Amino acid sequence: MLILKVDNLLLSSLLAFVISYLLGPLVNYMERRGLNRVASIMFLFSAMSLTIFIGLSSLYPLISSQLSSLKSDLPKYITGTTQLIKDTEANFSFLTAILLNFDLSEYVESLMTTWASSLFEDFPKYISKSLTTAMLAPFLAFFLLKDGQRILKSIFSLVPNRFFELSINLQHQINDQMGGFIRARMLEATIVGFVVWAGLWLIHFPYAPLLATFAALTNLIPYIGPLIGMVPPLIIALINGTPFIGLFLVLLPYAIAQIIDMFVIIPLVVAKIVDLHPVTVIISFIIGAQVMGVLGMIISIPVTSILKVTTTTVYKHLIEFTP
């Protein structure tokens, strides 16, 4: 497919759908209040752009200093991580016999060195791709918000009369479910990121903003995302020789964030929206990871939810209208 071949097009399209689902209810509300649809979209886009610009301008000095500090400290953390793995291998020597001559510490050191070098050497390329996505995604989102309803009407006009009601019902269900899911996941990531940042900031832990952002993003990955988010601060704390109570304080914000996530947000918001069995979620997660990697992990649940809604709705329609 073309969307998979063109650089940044898939990510830009997904972000465009996210933006349209986030802003869609506001655009519809403003249009119902008498404001022109295009004017509503332009107003919301202007407000969003201004908010992002002010936020980035305010945070740029902090982010810049954090990245500079991280760049200078990376060799120490790579060496420290390698030493931690060597110590672990020495304490669990039976694993060495199982893994034969595989040197895990050497492999991790090589991997981290390559990653660190790539991260900073290719930083301009990442910025270029990010800017491309940042310009393309709002552009696509604008036309989704502006012409989405017109496109749907054109599509529905091609649907045979006997399937028209089914198509309308299915579209409304998918639209409501995806909108609720995306807004819930954004809220979830924001709360996790804020709780982690506040906790790390209170104990003066290094790179709190970067680690909180990483935790918020990885939390979007089902099941393993929160664990991945905990790894960097844990490694930094161990390398810096943090005592046990310090390790507890470092991991405490992550634990609080996950408690809020698991016992409040997921049961009360996300679970009611997707209504999927845990086994179904795990299978879809594995398939998504195999097919599209990290991006597949993130979109596996909404895609599975859409398939479930479609299958259930079509089945009910066939049962009700089959003589």
- Bigger pLDDT: 75 or 290? 290
Q: How far apart are CA 43 and CA 142, in angstroms?
A: 11
pLDDT at 196: 92
Phi/psi zone of residue 235: left (φ > 0), alpha (ψ -120 to 50 degrees), beta? alpha
Instruction: Read off the pLDDT of each residue in 29-44 and give the average, rounded to a whole number.
Output: 89
How many other CB atoms are there within 10 angstroms of residue 111's CB atom? 11
Cβ atoms of 253 and 200 within 8 Å: the answer is yes
Q: How far apart are CA 8 and CA 129, in angstroms?
A: 7
Please give the full DSSP string across 296-320, using - where no structure is assigned: HHHHHHHHHHHHHHHHHHHHHHHHH
Q: Of the given ranges (122-136, 247-261, 274-288), which has the lowest mean pLDDT? A: 122-136
Q: How far apart are CA 220 and CA 241, in angstroms?
A: 30
Cβ atoms of 196 and 254 within 8 Å: the answer is yes
Question: Taking the domains of the chain in order of start, what are their residue ranges?
Answer: 159-323
Model confidence pLDDT, tens digit, residues 104-130: 556 555 656 666 555 555 555 555 566
**Cβ-based burial of 233 (10 A; exposed 0-12, middle 13-18, buried ≥19):** buried
- Bigger pLDDT: 234 or 93? 234
Cβ atoms of 211 and 200 within 8 Å: the answer is yes
pTM listed for this prediction: 0.72
Model confidence pLDDT, tens digit, residues 183-213: 888 888 888 999 999 999 998 888 888 899 8
Locate 165 and state its tokens: 């009601």
Locate 183 and state its tokens: 């807004």
Phi/psi zone of residue 30: left (φ > 0), alpha (ψ -120 to 50 degrees), beta? alpha
* 270 DSSP assignment: I
Model confidence pLDDT, tens digit, residues 69-78: 777 777 777 7
C-alpha 32: how far from chain center: 32
Q: How far apart are CA 306 and CA 291, in angstroms?
A: 18
- Kindly indicate the confidence band of residue 293, based on its pLDDT and cuts at 50, 70 and 90: confident
**Cβ-based burial of 199 (10 A; exposed 0-12, middle 13-18, buried ≥19):** buried
Q: At 161, which amino acid appears? A: N
pLDDT at 182: 82
